Structure formats: structure tokens, C-alpha cells
Amino acid sequence: MTNCRLDINAGSGGKAEEGKATHSLSGNNGTITTYYKMAKLSSILVAIVLSFTVVSAELPAAAPGIVVNPDVSSGAAGYHVKGGAQRTKTGLHLPLTLNNGKKNIFGKTIDKLSVDVSFDSAERLHVKIADTAGKQYLVPNSPLGLERPKISHAASHLNYDFHYTEKPFSFKVVRKSDKEVLFDTTGQPLVFEDQYLELTTKVPDNANIYGFGELTGEYRRNNHANVTTMWARDVADPFYQNQYGTHPSYTEIRDGKAHGALLLNSHGMDVFTMTGRITYKVIGGILDFYFFVPEPATPNSVVRAYTDLVGKPIMPAQWMLGWHQCRYGYHDIEEVDTVVEEYRKNKIPLETMWTDIDYMDRTKDFTFDPINFPISKVKDLTSKLHSRDQHYVVMIDPAISTNTSYEPYSRGHELDIFLKLNDYKTELQGQVWPGYTAFPDWWHPKVQEYWNYEVTNFMKSIQLDGVWIDMNEPSSFCLGSCGTGKRNEVPAYWWTLPTDEYNTLHAEWEKNLNALGTGVPGDTRNLLYPPYIINNGAGNLSEKTAPTTSLHYGRIPHYDLHNLYGHAESHVTNQAIQKYRPNERVFLLTRSQFAGTGKNAGHWTGDNTSLWEYLKESIAAILQMQQMGIALSGADVCGFNGNTTMELCARWQELGSFYPFARNHNSIGMISQEPYVWPEVAEGTRKALAVRYAMMPYMYTLFQEANTVGTGVWRPLIFEFPNDDTFLAEDVQFMMGDSVLISPIVEENATSIHAKFPTGVWYDWYNGKAVNGPTTKTLHADLTTIPVHVRGGSILPLKTPEMTITATYATPYELLVALDKNGKANGRLYIDDGHSIEQDGTSSINFSISHGKLTAKGSFGYHEKTKLEKVSVLGGKYRHAVVDKKIYTLRKDATTGAYVASGFKIDLNKAFTVNFY
């Protein structure tokens, strides 16, 4: 049973009346324009608070019982500008002083604030509202937080204006091109306390908001499931609750134009997306906003601008884009080897084999079970995989066993790099898989040295290809420091205990945690039980994680750093893997993330369930990660928890074959779900992976664009077609890049989908039949088929699909030319060596066709050995092709209807032309 409070009006409303001066700072050549508009807060809406009880298990997945804190900021004092605006090199400084009114709502009100406005670039505005004394915690300006760009002077020719009102202080961000007000705090409370910040912006009713993650639910945010809580948590993907990562950013689309915002704050928070407004309620730090106002104002441009700030997605090696297989529960190395051989026997591509914690000796990091996974046999498997151009990845958890005979703990203890209790002396000892554990402090100056040693020696021992970091919220199976003084004991997992025994144990944990105090020396905040209670699904902020009173290096409470823990581990682990293989691209997958994690790691959506609802929502989850700059993202194909069915697994394998990161993975105790288990699933997998592997040059080019430009590999239809309102809430169909439309079947017993087609010509991948959009068409798909369409006007670089990425890339190149209604098309191919961080040379080839003339131009820095040997044309009836004065006769493909020219060997190291007639 959960005691809940319903907030009928979570945030205050107000009406502007005449009476106060308002200023506008346009930033054009740094000029401040002052004008007078009268504004006065004249009315406050009173919140209605109801108490009731909800049985969580009875709630439908799509309409959870949301715990919403009441709005008690009505009548908050607010602030006014005192002393006037001060020009700075980068923009504007405004000193704020507290007005008379309600104080100390959920903490200690801070009387004096500073507003610093920086015109970072033509499209990025930075507005930082901070305590003048500088005591509130900021996200570190480092790779362990977010490295801010160095801005030496204000940009000019801005896409936006910044407006502010002096008393009470409020501000607006206005897009210059159409005078649209994008962010507006006028008439809304500004609360700034040591443990509670509140700020509201007005938005249109039924605003089109995308973002605020990590969340399992619909892609477009709505006014019903309207609270996003950000507090990293180990939990199996509940709908509309906080889970592994935190991304306090969003993109909004209004009348086809997009803008975005990021609140750079690592503290726990609730974000309310209500009718007519967005309200932030944060339990610490400062209000550090970045606004993104690109021109053209497209959603993809917002993603580009956002990743300009937080970092571009990691560039994967080619092999990382192949198919991966894992499960928690492979009993021994022989079973793992059997899976590899079954893939081979069933002629299903397998690029990378994985092992969960099963390989470990009593689930301790950097060890091998001497009976079931002896290191000699693991090395044999790795060698066999490498001989076949395949790869091997295993899991590493951050929690380190505190057993006194365990060397990784001894080395860490000697370096003093583990998280401490609030006395800053005693190590925090929680409980994870190996028993009682210590937690590396990623902010300790010696932790990189420690992690480098452990990771590199471990990876070298079996020639490991990549690492998967899990449980890094951080997860702990108890409350507080339950392992203090118990290092060599092996506790039971809490979920195996009888209810009464667990309740008694939990009460003891809570008693011990409270005995340590609710704060830390020199800090007056109540860190265990902050006055404002965010809607954390676990309740207590310290439940099943590190206590909020534990201390990091420099005596920084975990309360301030919790949401950054997995993000920081991603950076430290990325650096360690680079030590192991210098200049080789890093394969790293993380569960917990924050803004900017994508530049160090990929992400999978965690412990989903083998249900049709999770198949569908995996699409929205991956689209969200793409928007947040984590391009290498995917979900556990066929589901992790629970038993899948043949039909569900077939549809999921087909969809998962197009995930940017594609892996089948399930849990211990569940039925086997490798795709070869069912003949129908095997066939559907072969067909879908044949499309993926054929499109590998196109997909690899998309990842290079993500790495350099920032745009997603997967894209929502509304991001590609922002002026078509029929796509505003579409989160089943999606685009892969700008040229491929995927329309998966995500409903049980369904054999068709009512697919929406945007404006233009769309060619069926399998039979070449054209659909002219905009239209809706019923696509029939048997159990082994996923509908795929190529956009007219596109040129896709292709390969012949083989069983591995290496074998696929050894085949000649092909081009699929899908003509638009004007007989034109274009595309791009990026080529490099496929694995190195630093390249001797790269090629970027732009293809275009018009009036039957296909040209290839660009940069040709990489020496490509394979040739272009085939061009297929959809939408044109050409009979001949001329290459270097030699004439080739085209044939019509009986299956696809494309006109195909083949047999030539075109060098991709220089520009070329193919003339069709």
C-alpha cells in the first residue's frame, strides 16, 4: 500500500496586470532595449490537496498512481532586481533580492541570488540563477559532470531575445523570427531554497513535449501521466516511474517549429508537464538553464544543438553494429559455446557473444568461476570467436566485494578510493551480488589509476572486446551501510527472506542509518529526509542505493551526486578501456546515464519484461535516448523478465534487428529465447538481419553523422516531418535516418499495421512497390516479416549480407537508388577503417542523380579496396548505363521490380559518373 497525495494544481498561476517595468535584452550587437510593460501578480491559485490510498499493483500500466506533492509555493516571496543590470562580456548580470512573502517552504530560503545570462551562440542561450554566496552544489565542470564550453564574449545575430521583468523577477525567451515566446516564467513563483527550487514556464495547452527521461511510456508527454521524477533507481522498467537515468531536457514542437531546454542539475526533481505549463521542483543545486533555438527550427536541429553542448554520441566500431546474444543464467562456458554453435548451425548472424555475472567467481568482479567458467576455457572461446571475426563482452558491476582476501578490494582500500559514511572515515558497505560491498568514488583523484589497473588486467586476461557496466545507479540491496563490520559474511538476498524477517531486518537497517544522522558535518540540510518529497518510486531516497548522507571525495554528499554516479563511471571506464587498447574504439554499455553520457557509452533500456506492452514502448524508449545523444541504444530483445512466446519473440526479433544496438537478452530461470529455439523466429530473424546487414554502410554512415552532427540514428516521424500533425504522437513507426521507414507489428495476433506514409514516394524494400504519400495504408506482414520502406529521393549504400560484419564488408558495394517523383535522389557514404579512434584518412562520398546522371563527389581520404559493382534503380525505367564509356544493359529484378546494372568495378577512391538512359 502506498500513501499518495494528489496535486490538483502543481504550480501557481498568476495574471499580469499593469504596474512594473519590463526589460528586453535582444543581444543584437549587445544592445539593451528598455520598454515599459506593466506587470503585477494579482491572483494566486490555491492548491487542493487530497489524501487517498492506492494499491499500486491494481493500476493499469499506462495510467499509474502518481504521487504528486502539493503546491505550497503559492504566495512565495519571489525576487526582484536590485541595483540594476550589469553588462558582462558574455551577456548580462542581474542581482536579485528576496521580496516579502512566504519563506522557508521546503528548506531555508536564500535571500540573494545572481542571474547570469550568457549569449553562448546564435542558437544557444544560457540562463543561470544561482545563490550569490555560491554554496549550492553545481554539476561539476568536468568529464564527470558536464564540461561547459568556454565563452569569452557574447555572440551576435542571435535567433532569440531575452526579456526580463524587474519586480517580481521573471524572464522570457523569445524566438526572433516569429516573436514566439518559448519559455515564460511571468506570473509564476520563483522559489530558491537550499533544498527546494521551483520554477514554472507557460506552454500551450496540450503542448507537444518530448524528452524528460529516462522514462518507460509514450514518447510524446501528456497531461495525464504528467510527473517525471529524476532520481536514478535500480528498478525493472516500471511505466511512468523513475528508473536508471536522468535527462532533465526536452524538445517542444509548435506549429512545425521546434526549440529545446536543459536544466543542468543533478539533484532529485519532479517535472510536471501539465496543461499550459511545465513546473520544475528540485531538491537542491541551482537553476542552470540552457535554451536551444536553432534556425531552421527543426526538431533534428534542436538535437544537434543539444549535443553541441553535452557531447556527440560515441562512434562505434563496425562490429559493434552486428547482432549480439546474451542471457543471465548461462550455467557454464560449455553452454555459452553451444549457443555460438547453434547460431552457426542455424545460419543466423552472430557478431558478439556475451556473458552476464554467471562467469564470475561468487559474483565478484574481475574473477572467473573456476568450475563453470575456468579462465582457460573462457580464453579458448574468445580465441575461437576472434578466429571467426566474432567478439566477446562481459559485465562488470561497480560494487566491489569487501571480502578481506579479495585483491581488488584490498588495492582499492589501500588507495582509499571508496565511498565513505558521513564521518568521512568509515567506508560505506552496502550489499550487492557478491555480498557486502564497497563503492568506488569516481570523483576520487586516484580512482582512475585504480580502475585502469583492474579493468585493463582483466580484459587482457581473456582478450575481451568490450565491457558492460550494470547496477551503477548505484544499486545496493539494503538500506544504509548494512555490511559494516561484516566483510566476510555472505548475507541472503532480501527477496529470498520471509516477509516478517525482511521487515525486521529493514527496520534494523533504517535504525542504523538514522543513528548516523540526517546530515553531514558543516551542512545544515536534512539529506536523509528532505522536506520536499519527490515522487521516487522506492520511497526513501536512500532505499536500495547509497545513502544520501554518504560522502564523496571533497566531502561532497551523495545527495548532490547520486544522479551522476553511473555517468561518471562511464567516463572512468571508457578511459580505462582506452588504456587497454589505445586507439581502438571503445565498446561500453551502461545502465545509468545523465546528460552527455552518450559521448562515452551506449545504453540499453534495462530489465524490461516479455510483454507486448514492452515491445511497443521499447520504440519510444530508444527514440528518447537518440534525442538525448545516446545513439548506441537498444532494448533487451524478446524481453528480460518473464517468459516470452514464439509470436512475441518473432515480432521482437524483427524489430530488434533494427535497434541501433541489437541484442537478445533474458533472465535466469526463464525459458531459453535465442532466435533458433523456434523455426518461425529463426526465419524472421534471418530475414530482418539480412536487411540490417545489407544496410550496414548506410547505418554506419548514420552513426558517423550522429558522432559529428549529433542527429539520431533512429528518428521519430515528427522529427523528420514536423509540419505534419498526424505524426505528433506517433511512436510505433519510426525513421532510420532520413531514408528508411520501419513499420513494426507490435500487437498480439496482428498480421497487419495501418501505416502512415508521409509526403513523397515510398518503396517497399522487399517488392519495390511504391506508395504515394501522404496516405495511410494497411500493410500485411506474416509472422516472419517486418515492413520496411525506402524514401523516394534517397540513395542507400549497401553490401551483401553475410554472417559477420567483417564478411559483409568484404563484399562489393551496391547502391539502391530510390527516385522521387521528379526522378531525383541523393545519399551519402562514409568510409574509414571501421575501428580506429584516430584515422589516417576517411572518405565522405555524396551521391546524387538527376535526369539519369548519377554523380559521386566528396572527399576521398581513405583507400577503399572493395569496388562498387551494382546499382539498382527504383522508380525509373532505364535500359542502359554508361561507365567510363562502357555500356551495361540493365535487367529488371523479378522480385523488387528495380532496374539493375551490375558487373562494373567502380573505384570508390575518386569521383565518378554513371549515365542511365
Q: Which helix H or strand E contains 86, and what residues bound it?
A: strand 86-87
Tell me the domains of the chain and their CATH numbers: 2-310 (2.60.40.1760), 318-493+555-696 (3.20.20.80), 812-916 (2.60.40.1180)
The span from the CA of 378 to the CA of 334, in Å, is 9
Nearest to 766 by CA among 750, 782, 751, 754: 782
Task: Count the Cβ atoms, other than its own, within 10 Å of residue 488.
Answer: 12
Indicate the pairing of strand 813-818 with strand 2-7.
Answer: unpaired
| Distance (Å, whole) CA 620 – CA 219 | 5
Residues 6+ apart with CB under 8 A from 89: 152, 153, 154
Radius of gyration of the chain (CA): 28
| 217 vs 707: CA distance, rounded Å | 27
Q: What is Dmax (Cα atoms) for the chain?
A: 87
Question: Prior bond to 474 cis, omega within 30?
Answer: yes
- DSSP secondary structure letters along 611-647: SHHHHHHHHHHHHHHHHTT--SEE-EET-SBS---HH
- Count Cα neighbours of 550 within 13 Å in the Cβ-side half-sphere: 28
Which SS3 state, helix, strand or coil, does residue 564 take?
A: helix
Residues of the chain with pLDDT under 50: 1-72
Q: What is the set of active-site residues?
A: 470, 473, 607
Place of cell 565491457: 467
Instruction: Please give the pLDDT value at position 77.
Output: 86
Question: What pTM did the predictor assign?
Answer: 0.92
What whole-number distance in Å separates Cα of residue 571 and Cα of residue 588?
Answer: 10
CB atoms within 10 A of CB 196: 22
Kindly report whether the peptide bond that precedes residue 214 is cis, defined as omega within 30 degrees of 0. Answer: yes
Model confidence pLDDT, tens digit, residues 267-294: 999 999 999 999 999 999 999 999 999 9
* pLDDT tens string 733-792: 999 999 999 999 999 999 999 999 999 999 999 999 999 999 999 999 999 999 999 999
Phi (first) and psi of residue 714, to 5 degrees: -95, 145
Q: What CA–CA distance (Å, rounded) separates 730 from 732?
A: 6
Three-class DSSP category at 344: helix
Q: Which is nearest to 589 in space by CA: 644, 539, 632, 643?
A: 632
